Amino acid sequence: MKTHLLRLLFAAAVIVPHPACREPGPTRQNPSPAPGTGDEAMAAPADPGTEPVGPDLGPEAKSTPVTPPVTSPVAAPTPPPAAPAPDPGCADVPDAATSAKMYPWTRRAPAYESWCARHPVPAGYTRVGAPAGSWAHWLRHLPVLPAGTPVKDYQGNTLISASAMTTSVIDLDVGTRDLQQCMDVILRLRAEWHWWKGTADRIRFRYAGGVYYGFADWQRGLRPEKVGGRTQLLPKAGASSGRKSLEKYLLFMYAMTGTAHNTQELPVTAAELAPGDFFIEPSPSVTVLGHALVVLDVARDARGRLKAVIAQGYTPARDMHVLKADDGTAWFTLDPAQPVTFPSWGNPYGWNQVMRFRN
């Protein structure tokens, strides 16, 4: 009897495990909401279902509740943004060899990139025509510095406020003196285009008193001088030629002319607006600044609505930069019935302040 009791106690000790050794049952990882509670945080688990049984095991086959595998839902990958449709107006970007001839100054970017390709025309708009070799085509493919490049002044200082209103910085050297400012940048562009075209004899801009003073005059050694209240061109230097001579002529013009002297060019209406035209507010005195901005490109839609890309230099001399419109793009909406305001200049421009070079 004693032996029988000992055997029973031994068996009980074997078949009843210590609570700490019990394996926990399956736990549902994503309990479903209890019906009618309206509170997902207090939801009760739904029926987990049963494990399927094999064939021909009969009605007494074991049916064990199981937890179906739970996996986090995998979001469908977001497709990359569609590339903008090719802009026909930018299809004829010059190759590297051609661009080196079109834009021969020392550039900072490691490779040539046209600003046009970076700023496609808005949907529904078409750029105005720009035949190869034209002033408009040359402006449309000006080289640009890498995206995100800040605007810097002639001393190399980063200009935070100017950078904030800029979409791209044109890869045009500014020099080491405070000379190539707003109107000066526009003179520079026009002179560079003529230089590339082989028409350097047509480089001429207005001097004090409205007199045109050209690169050809400079090369012959003529210099403007006031005689009896009138500006005359007198022989004051030796003859010169070549690229260095052009650079010296431009520096002279930057110092001696500006917005006050360039308001007598050809007037332009909104309907006629084209790349290369410029908005100009003349300086009323030597102590008050004027300002000029150049139109780099123009686009219109089927209803005749007008958009334009606007760029500028500024004071003190700094990188030429493409301004940012209200919508964050480089394209300003221009209303022919309203004055135009740009972010860098508080005074609005009337349409009677848009000019085009005669030469």
Q: Could you read off the pLDDT of 228-266 as tens digits, one per residue?
A: 889 999 999 999 999 999 999 999 999 999 999 999 999
Contacts of 159 (CB under 8 A, 6+ apart): 150, 151, 152, 153, 318
Measure Cα distances from 2 to 5, 6, 10, 15, 51 in Å. 5, 6, 12, 21, 46
pLDDT at 65: 42
The residue that leads in pLDDT, 20 or 228, is 228
Residue 150: pLDDT band (50, 70, 90) is very high
Bridge partners of 232, per DSSP, are: 225
pLDDT at 43: 37
Check pLDDT > 90 for residue 330: yes
Q: Could you read off the pLDDT of 63-107 as tens digits, one per residue?
A: 434 444 444 454 555 555 455 567 888 889 999 999 999 999 999
pLDDT at 350: 97
pLDDT at 135: 98
CA distance 297 to 204: 23
pLDDT at 84: 53
- The ranges assigned to domains in the chain are 97-196+265-356
Closest CA to 294 of 315, 313, 271, 267: 313
pLDDT at 26: 38
pLDDT at 88: 81
Residue 31: pLDDT band (50, 70, 90) is very low
Check pLDDT > 70 for residue 15: no
Q: Could you read off the pLDDT of 159-218 as tens digits, one per residue?
A: 999 999 999 999 999 999 999 999 999 999 999 999 999 999 999 999 977 889 999 999
pLDDT at 57: 38
pLDDT at 89: 82
Instruction: Report yes or no: 215 and 249 within 8 Å, Cβ to Cβ.
Output: yes
pLDDT at 87: 84
Check pLDDT > 70 for residue 359: yes
Q: What is the pTM of this model?
A: 0.77
Arithmetic mean of pLDDT over the chain: 83
Q: Could you read off the pLDDT of 120-130 as tens digits, one per residue?
A: 999 999 999 99
Give me 130's structure tokens. 């720009």
Instruction: Report yes or no: 216 and 246 within 8 Å, Cβ to Cβ.
Output: no
CA distance 171 to 266: 28
What mean pLDDT do residues 112-137 have?
96
Q: Could you read off the pLDDT of 43-53 as tens digits, one per residue?
A: 333 343 333 33
pLDDT at 47: 40
pLDDT at 300: 98
